[in-house]
């Protein structure tokens, strides 16, 4: 996707964000997750749980959850936490992308700390 196309996509679709490396984040309200698609040639998917705080009316990333790649045997329409754990480098990369994604939606998400 070109820079212009990606910029338009990111401006129009507030619950999604595409990055220059081909990866993307998508807020899936139905499952209370942010779904991450890696930019690898063979895409891997991670479901990052989020918690809604009704008092503040904001969601935040569940910091106590273990971030895992999806098990390929689980249907894509279902939430998965049974795959292998993300490496430290993968977690750092995803954390930085989550910061960009959540900063784009300050009325929905608490900023990552």
Judge whether 34 and 48 are in contact, CB under 8 Å.
yes
Side-chain half-sphere CA neighbours of 33 within 13 A: 19
Q: So what's the pLDDT on residue 9? A: 64
pLDDT digit string, tens, across residues 14-57: 778 889 999 999 998 888 899 999 988 888 999 999 999 999 99
Phi-psi region of 30 (alpha: psi -120 to 50; beta: other; left: phi over 0): alpha
């Amino acid at each position: 996707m070109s820079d212009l196309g990606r910029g338009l996509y990111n401006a129009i679709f507030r619950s999604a964000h595409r990055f220059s490396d081909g990866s993307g984040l998508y807020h899936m309200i139905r499952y209370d997750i942010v779904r991450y698609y890696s930019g690898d040639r063979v895409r891997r998917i991670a479901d990052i749980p989020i918690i809604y705080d009704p008092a503040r009316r904001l969601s935040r990333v569940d910091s106590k959850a273990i971030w895992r790649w999806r098990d390929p045997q689980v249907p894509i329409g279902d939430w998965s936490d049974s795959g292998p754990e993300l490496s430290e480098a993968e977690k750092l990369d995803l954390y930085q992308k989550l910061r960009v994604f959540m900063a784009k939606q300050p009325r929905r998400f608490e900023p990552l700390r």
